[in-house]
Amino acid sequence: KNQVEQSPQSLIILEGKNCTLQCNYTVSPFSNLRWYKQDTGRGPVSLTIMTFSENTKSNGRYTATLDADTKQSSLHITASQLSDSASYICVVKGAGTALIFGKGTTLSVSS
């Protein structure tokens, strides 16, 4: 069964600290993996997209890694800001058009 599992479910960190979110998937065949940021009550916004051949991709303070052999990805946030408080969703595209979403990690950044 195609699944995307994320950990931790929730995370609280102090402003300025770094954090890493994890994503494991069992989707096969694999097309690409995306990380989205979703603010409360809003639609998801894409942070990164990685294909099979890409190991790392950065978008400002966000750096995503992908290990297609172990089917794991991580999202590292550097020097967190209050505005980083959101849900971060790992999404995998396999065959066909449908995306398979994880449940997300809820990040709270406090001052």
Enumerate residues 6+ apart whose C-beta is below 8 A from 82: 15, 109, 110, 111
Cβ closer to other proteins: 43 or 60?
A: 43
**Contact of 104 with 22, CB cutoff 8 Å:** no
Binding mask 29-48 for other proteins (x = CB under 8 A): ---x-x-x----xxxxxx--
Q: Is 107 exposed, middle or buried (0-12, 13-18, 19+ CB in 10 A)?
A: buried
Kindly state whether residue 49 participates in binding other proteins, applying the rule CB under 8 A. yes
Q: Among 108, 103, 109, 58, which residue's Cα sits nearest to residue 81?
A: 109
- Is 11 one of the binding residues for other proteins (CB under 8 A)? no
Q: Which is nearer to other proteins, 66 or 89 (CB)?
A: 89
* 52-111 residues near other proteins, rule: CB under 8 A: 89, 91, 93, 96-99, 101-104
Q: Which residues bind other proteins (CB under 8 A)?
A: 4, 32, 34, 36, 41-46, 49, 51, 89, 91, 93, 96-99, 101-104
